[in-house]
Structure 1
Amino acid sequence: MTAMVRVSLLGPLEVTVAGIPMAVGGPGRRALLAALSLGLGTTLSVPELLEAIWDDRPPMTATTKLQGHICALRQELARLGAADAIQTKPPGYVLCKHRVATDLAEHDELLRRARDAPPPDRADALRAALRMWRGSSACADLRSSWAAAVTHALDERRWRAMEDLAEAELALGDPAAVIDAMEPLVRQAPYRERAWEHLMAAHVERGDMAAALAVHERLSRTLAVGLGVAPGRRITHLIDAVRSR
C-alpha cells in the first residue's frame, strides 16, 4: 500500500511520508515541491516550475536541472513508500492529491466551514485553522520573488482569518481576546482598517472610550503619514458613535 505524503506549507516547508520526515534537499528542490504542493492535483507546466525555482532568470540548463530535481524527489519518496506521489503529465508534472495532503488544504477547508457557521462554531473553526500556522509566514524558508508573492498571498489569507475570528469573538462577547489578537496585527499590517475597526470596537465593548479614541488617533496618523488618506466610512461611523456618547 502506498504511504501518504504530508506537505506542510504554513511555516517552513516540511514533508513527512507515513509520519517519517523526508529530506527535501536544497532551495531549488524545496521551491519545486512547494509549487507542486500549492497546486495540489493540478498539472504545472515546465515553464511554471522553472519560474518557481529561478524566477525569470533560469540557467541555460534549467530544464535538465528540473528533471534532476524531479528524479531526486521521486527517489526519496520511493525510498519511503510513496513512489507515485509525483506524476508526469504533459505539459509538466502534478502532485497526486490522492497520495498527498497539505496543511494548506486542511486550513482552507476549516475556513470554508467557518463561513456559514454560527458564531461559536465559526470561532472554533477559525481558531483551529490559525493553530495550523508555524511561525510568522508561509513557505518561510524559500527565498525568491515567486516565493515572496506566495508568502504575501497566504499571509493575507491568515490575516483575514484573524479578522474573521475577531468578529466572531466580538459577537460572543470576548473583547479581551480581540484586543490581544488585533494589537499585534495592526502593528504587523498597519493599513488593515478592518483590524483597526475590530480593535476599536473591542475597547468600546469594554466601555473604554478613551482607548477607542486613542486607537482611532493612531490609525488616522498611520494612514495620513503612510498613504495620505483618512480612515474609511465604517471607522468614521464607529468613532462618531463613540464621540456622541
Structure 2
Amino acid sequence: MKKSTRFLTAFALICALMAPSLAYAAEESKETAPPEVKPIEATLTKEGGFAALQIGKQVFVYNKDGQLFQTKGKERIGELKDLFVIPYGPEKIPMILIKNDKNGYMVFSDLWPKIVPGKEKDTTDAYYSGRIHTSARDKVVTRTGHHYAEKIGDEVVAYTANDFDDLKKGFHESIRVKGELRGLILYDCCPYLVVDDGKETLSVYHAGENGPELASSIEFK
C-alpha cells in the first residue's frame, strides 16, 4: 500500500514539474492555431434608399444615416422575405416581410412617432404592422380593431373607424380595389390594403387624393 502511495506521490510530483511546460505548450498552441470560427450567415436586400440586413434570424433595417429598427424576440424574428417601401405623405417608409416559425408571415416597420413619445430616436424597436396570408381571406381585422377589410364580390374593401375611441360609431370606406384579399397593414393609423390582383407580386394600395393608388408591391405569392 505504501509502495502505491509513493508511486502516486512521485507521479504527482512529476506532473507538478511538467505543469508549467504543458501550460506553455497549450498557450503556444492557442497562439499558433486559434479555434475555428464559423462563418456568419448574412444577406443584404436593398430597395429605394433602404437596406435590410439579415444575420441569422434577425433583420436590421437601415437608411443612409444608420439603423432604423430591427426584429427581436422569438415571436418576431425569422427569414426575410421582402423589403418594400410605401408612401406616407411626402415620406418613404421601409417595411419588411419576415416568416416567423410560430406566427407566419409578419410585416414590420419603424415605430410611429405619435404612439411612442420619447422614442423618436429609438433605432431598435419595430412596430408590428400586420400579417400577410398565404391564401385569400374573406375578412381581415387589425389587432387594434380600428380597421378591417373584407371581400365583396370581385372587390376588396378596407374600412376605418369613424372614432378610434368609440368603435360603436361605425366605420367608413377607405379603399376599394378589385382582387383577392391577402392582408391589411398599418402605418401611423393609415390602412394599406394587400391584394392579389393577378400580378406576379402582391399589390399594396392606399387611399390617394382621387381614390385608391398603388403604393408598393411585395415579392410574395
Band the TM-score falls in, shorter-chain normalisation: under 0.3
> 1 or 2, which has the higher helix percentage?
1
| TM-score of the aligned structures, taking structure 1 as reference length | 0.21
Q: TM-score, normalised by structure 2?
A: 0.23
Higher relative contact order (CA 8 A, sep 6+): 1
